[in-house]
Amino acid sequence: MPKTANIEDLRQRARRRIPRFLFDFVEGGADDEFTVRANREAFGRHAFRARSLVDVSTRDLSTTLLGQRLELPLILGPVGLAGLLAPGGERLAARAAVKKGALFTLSTMSVCTIEEVAAAVPAPGWFQLYIWKDRGITRSLVERAKAAGYTALCVTVDVPDMGNRERDVRNGFTVPPRLTVANAFDLLLHLGWVLRMTRSPRATFGNFEDSKALTRRDAVSVAAYTSRQFDASITWADLQWLRELWPGPLVLKGISCAEDARRAVEHGVQALVVSNHGGRQLDGLPAALDVLPEIVDAVGGRAEVILDGGVRRGSDVVKAIALGARACMIGRPYLYGLAADGQAGVELALELFRKEIDRTLTLLGCPRLDQLDASYLRGPGEAPRLSLPAGRTSTG
């Protein structure tokens, strides 16, 4: 097999290794997937302004996030059902993050439980919260995360209801996945995955008793399950309630305009994630990178800003940091690694990013990540658009 040179190669390996309905769940976005593509294309509108004759013989890629030092400015974003890509998927990804000096975020909708992931690593990372209609369940999730030692609560605010993921509708994707006439051939072509998954203790949302009891006969679509459970009535006022439950740092994920960023700061949020949920929620939102400057400006240093969406290259990370992000969150890139080769695949994804960030800093003439600023970029209008070859947007 040819060597894996970049995240796109890892994506191709993942595509071959897991059933189509699962790859589509990972890859897909909402409606026409305009925003999925926009996230990627935005990076091509910024070109570098490199400096020459700078001593770049040693480089420093480290950053601090909410007071924690990270060797790599990368956060593995919260992803539901990662445990379907490889048995124990969330545990494997959390271990890979520790090994590579990145940070792991566990999703509320994980297959492994809050406690299982915490037990797999020396110190757990962040816990991502979806607010349940049943506040008793929400409270219990927060308390479990606190007891297990997660260091920050990352509340996702862009899912009052699930986005319209048409690939999942078409594929009849359910939790747990079910054998149907329509997907029988797909499963037959991926018997390796079927066999691997028979070793997995469960194929549903591990944190919820009712979901653990889901059998293949009463399988539900992700949209149906989340619609039943997620609270679409939450407002800024509810953040106060969470504050009382969670004394540690609070992060809001899914901020996409300056007003909300300002409001988040006024509510004492320590970090915010500029994100459109990887284009999986409201289709038609602009690229996350395009709203980053507006949000960095609105926050004015009062909270840490993280860029999430479309990051596929070390140079993307460097561009986001030059525009004021403190770190980048990645979703699909590490899932490709997990699907392709379990923990080793996630480590490979992170290693590819590390090498690319390192090389970019070297060639850019900026040896330290914390010295990056907008003077290292030429913005849209200042430079010709850099375009990817057809079919190489990493999505679609």
Ligand X SMILES: Cc1cc2nc3c(=O)[nH]c(=O)nc-3n(C[C@H](O)[C@H](O)[C@H](O)COP(=O)(O)O)c2cc1C
Q: What residues form the annotated binding site?
A: 78-80, 107, 128, 130, 156, 165, 253, 275, 277, 280, 308-312, 331-332
Question: Among ligand X, ligand 7N5, none, what does residue 116 contact (CB within 5–8 Å per kind)?
Answer: none
Rule CB under 6 A: say whether 337 interacts with ligand X: no
Ranges within 272-291 binding ligand 7N5 (CB under 6 A): 277, 280
Rounded to whole angstroms, the maximal C-alpha distance in the chain is: 66
Residues binding ligand 7N5: what is the number (CB under 6 A)?
Answer: 8
- C-beta of 290 vs 366, nearer to ligand X: 290
Rule CB under 6 A: say whether 226 interacts with ligand 7N5: yes
Q: Which residues line the annotated binding site for glyoxylate? A: 165, 277, 280
Segment near ligand X (CB under 6 A); pick from 193-201, 233-241, 325-333, 368-376: 325-333
Rule CB under 6 A: say whether 308 interacts with ligand X: yes
Of 46, 190, 267, 277, the active-site residue reads 277
Per residue in 158-179, is it b (16+ CB within 10 Å) or e — as a string? bbeebbbbebbeebebbbbbbe
Instruction: Tell me the two tokens of residue 271.
Output: 């970090």
Nearest-5° angle of CA 326, CA 329, CA 330? Answer: 150
Q: How far apart are CB 89 and ligand 7N5 at their closest, in Å?
A: 12
Rule CB under 6 A: say whether 159 interacts with ligand 7N5: yes
Rule CB under 6 A: say whether 332 interacts with ligand 7N5: no
Encoded one letter per residue, x for contact with ligand 7N5 by CB under 6 A and - for no contact, window 96-125 reads -------------x----------------
Instruction: Tell me the two tokens of residue 100.
Output: 């590579």
Instruction: Check if 190 is active-site.
Output: no
Rule CB under 6 A: say whether 206 interacts with ligand X: no
Nearest-5° angle of CA 198, CA 204, CA 208? Answer: 135
Spell out the residues 6+ positions from residue 217 whose beta carbon is closer than 8 angstroms to its own: none
> What are the catalytic residues?
277
Chain residues in the site for ligand X (CB under 6 A): 25-26, 39, 77-80, 107, 109, 128, 156, 253, 275, 277-278, 280, 308-311, 330-332
